[in-house]
Amino acid sequence: MKVAILGATGMVGQYLVSLLQGHPWFETEVLAASDRSAGKKYREAAHWIHPSQMPSGIGEMEVANSDVKSVEELGSPDIIFSCLPSDIAGGVEEEFASAGYPVFSKAANHRLEEDVPLIIPEVNPSHATLVDFQKEKRGWQGFITTDPNCSTTQLVLSLFPLVQFDLSKVMVTTMQALSGAGYPGVPSLDANANVIPFISKEEEKLESETLKLLGEFDGEKIIPAELKLSATCTRVPVQHGHLESVTVSLEAKPSLEEVKEAWASFEGEPLKLGLPSAVKPIRYREENDRPQPRLDCDEGNGMTIVLGRLRMDPILDYKYLCLGHNVVRGAAGEGILQAELFKAKGLI
């Protein structure tokens, strides 16, 4: 299937380009970005984070403007990956969906709309069929589906195997990498040797998206999970890898070994379907000083979250650390895995 990437010159767009190189199902057909990049060669428009990783031939591709007409002038894509900033993503994504394209969005604009799926393929693959209701309701031939916020993705992957123990409360403090702010991101004088204890709208995303992801699909909309969640989000001077300190209340009161076994045995539908990007979604490390962003965020080619330091908590019940690669598992790789899921289910 041929792919167009909107916002291809941004950090997530560049990672998508890299991860799609040699993909067995998807081939990059069109790269699109803003007016200031349109018409340039991709190598001129993109600040490639690792120049040696520029896929062969990609650098010479002309960049289109991020609208349907410009994209169709340079190719005939089958699906759209949108990595556009949220201030422009909403309307552009609707334009492509109404023109008949399946749109896989990284932006926050549509995540909480009743007829738009918010998907982590291992957690809630059944929510994907919400696009059928969306198409009927909006009169579109295409559709929009979304990925969660990067910090939400890894948190929910760690929580989902614990739902069986009557998960009722969650408190999470995030220590989020600089790359989560995109490029050029946080000014160096703000970030160096510092912790910034506020990320705009991040806590709200964590608290609301988690409830939708763990909710039940009634055929027309998602009924949010009945779960109390409190989040505090900070930015720390780490390049890649969000680390989260998570405390949970489990009404069934499992043993620590039962919790670890729930994580260890969890696989999810992508592995069962044999999707190209599927990996074991969770690894637990027994060492007291793990996980660490520098050592562990590339686990499973960046698609596996790494957990550690599970222990009892005197106020709630259990606490642990959760690490995920924010640009791969939390963004570009997550989007590709979702598109693979939709293809396997016959939705694209």
Known catalytic residues are: 150, 242
Give, for 145, the enclosing helix (H) or strand (E).
strand 143-146
Q: Which of 348, 291, 278 is nearest to 325 (CA)?
A: 291
Q: Alpha-carbon distance 339 to 284, whole Å?
A: 27
Which residue type does 246 have?
Answer: V
The radius of gyration computed from the CA coordinates of the chain, to the nearest angstrom, equals 20
Residue 86's Cβ-side half-sphere holds a number of Cα atoms within 13 Å equal to 12
Whether residue 276 is preceded by a cis peptide bond, meaning omega within 30 degrees of 0, is: no
**Short-list 132, 96, 140, CA closest to 3:** 96
- Cβ atoms of 147 and 119 closer than 8 Å: yes
- Taking the CA atoms of residue 238, residue 296, residue 269 and residue 125 in that order, the dihedral angle to the nearest 10 degrees is -10
- The phi and psi torsions of 132 (rounded to 5 degrees) equal -65, -40
Contact of 121 with 269, CB cutoff 8 Å:
yes
- Where are any strands of DSSP class E within 36-93? 63-65, 79-82
Phi, psi of 313 (to 5 degrees): -120, 135
